[in-house]
Amino acid sequence: MKNYHKQTIKAIFGILLISLPLWSCKKFVDIKPTTSLLGEFIFDNDATVKSALNGVYIKFSSNYSSAYTEPALYADELTYAYDKVPELNAYTPDISNGFFDRYYATIYSANAILEGIGSASKITPATAALVKGEALYLRAFSYFQLVNYYGTVPYVTMTDANISGQVGNTPVATIYQNIIADLKTSAGLLMNAYPVPNRTRINKQAVNALLAKAYLYTKDWVNAASTADLVIGSGIYSINNDLNAVFAATSNETIFQVWNSSGTALGNQFLQYSPTSSVTYPIRPELVNSFAANDLRKGTYIKPGTGPALATNTYVVSKYKANGATAGQPVEYPIIFRLAEIYLIRAEALAQQATPASIAAGASDLQVIRTRAGLTTPLVISTSTQLLTALADERRKELSFELGNRWFDIKRTDQALAVLQPLKPGIDAHILLLPFLRKYTTLNKNLIQNLGYK
């Protein structure tokens, strides 16, 4: 591998230092990545700019681990075996879970690529389109996560820390407008064909998956449904009828998954290591009891724990089967989007349109997911309210422990306090947004702390 430059980059808000080391990832793509993003030589040819893009993906891949456990603790999915602090979202301006730093690290790296590709004259048009489309997606996804964790975060598109370091809180509506604009541009630049065979880089339909979700969160029901149509109708993906293989690295249900050299580490966090060991994150009994007795996911997505270390009737997460590094090709990767979620997005968008035809179509989408779970008898649904209630219950089970979906769902539907206060007495609305670290609000006087944090 060439001895590319190694550079520490001064990042967002003038203090976030992103040390971007050299990486070697032989199985990721055929070009090894470098993260010396600001060197002009990066944009000298197609090979070096693709290598720089790989570096952004590697930065992005560092975000996934706690993004599955932390929001499940904030919501009503998991408990913490050792104390209750994480369940109460007890972060303060002096304690961070790292989401802010990690997502802005990806944003900064994507911005550096976008700045460079915009003025590059030696890159072929096809490569320029590919790299720009993927960088726009990675930035949009990062902002989507940030806005749902923190609310009004600073929206920056430049790498100049003298400017970005003084950007204040951007309204949520504006952030979503920018996310949607980036994704629409990205979709126009990318093709359905994946750049790599394992779907660890995005294609056009991965962009449409996030775009459909952004439309859903902004209550643009028509565009949410029509964009989900594009993904489902592409013919690329299919519902995996083997519930034990939904999260396998080769599952055709997967739309986008996160590369790392050894595959997923999620099983390490959730599974029992032995029949007599404890688990860090037992499942809340309320969630366990929401599964019908004949629901096949109760035994595949979740399963009873064993042994004296666990309380009676303790269930553990078993969606993710791999509990350590695997030799050779990884058997699992953390999944960002899969087809089941897109069916549920379309169903909800159709339910909100509240016509007889849209309600029937949404109920049909819902039944696709239920049938896979062994629930073959359709629900009797005739109103939008009935369908939305059934979909909320289905999303809770089908998308459990997946990248904060439940946490975001109960917040965007204004159900969070009604759901959580009976489980976590004493909480109030301020815990629905995470705090900014004090060091950021101290150095950037335009960044206003979220309410309720001192």
- pLDDT tens, N- to C-terminus, the chain (454 residues): 333 223 322 333 332 333 333 223 333 233 333 433 445 678 889 999 999 999 899 888 876 768 889 999 999 999 988 876 666 666 788 887 789 999 999 999 999 999 999 888 889 999 999 999 999 999 999 999 999 999 999 999 998 888 888 999 999 999 999 999 999 999 999 999 999 999 999 999 999 999 999 999 999 999 999 999 999 999 999 999 999 999 999 999 999 999 876 666 677 788 777 777 888 899 999 999 999 999 999 999 999 988 876 777 899 999 998 776 555 567 888 999 999 999 999 999 999 999 999 999 999 999 999 999 999 999 999 999 999 999 999 999 999 999 999 999 999 999 999 999 999 988 899 999 999 999 999 999 999 999 999 8
pLDDT of residue 329: 67
The Cα angle at residue 74 between residues 269 and 386, in degrees rounded to 5: 110
Same fold, 1-190+426-454 and 218-413: yes
Residue written as tokens 């660890």?
200
Q: What does the domain layout of the chain look like in residue ranges?
A: 1-190+426-454, 218-413
pLDDT of residue 89: 64
State the DSSP code for 31: S
Q: What CATH architecture applies to the domain 1-190+426-454?
A: Alpha Horseshoe (1.25)
**What class has domain 218-413?**
mainly alpha
Other beta carbons less than 10 A from residue 361's beta carbon: 17
Which residue in 425, 102, 77, 146 sits closest to 258, CA to CA? 102
pLDDT of residue 262: 61
- The whole-model pTM stands at 0.90
Tokens of 87: 């369940």
Tokens of 71: 């929001």
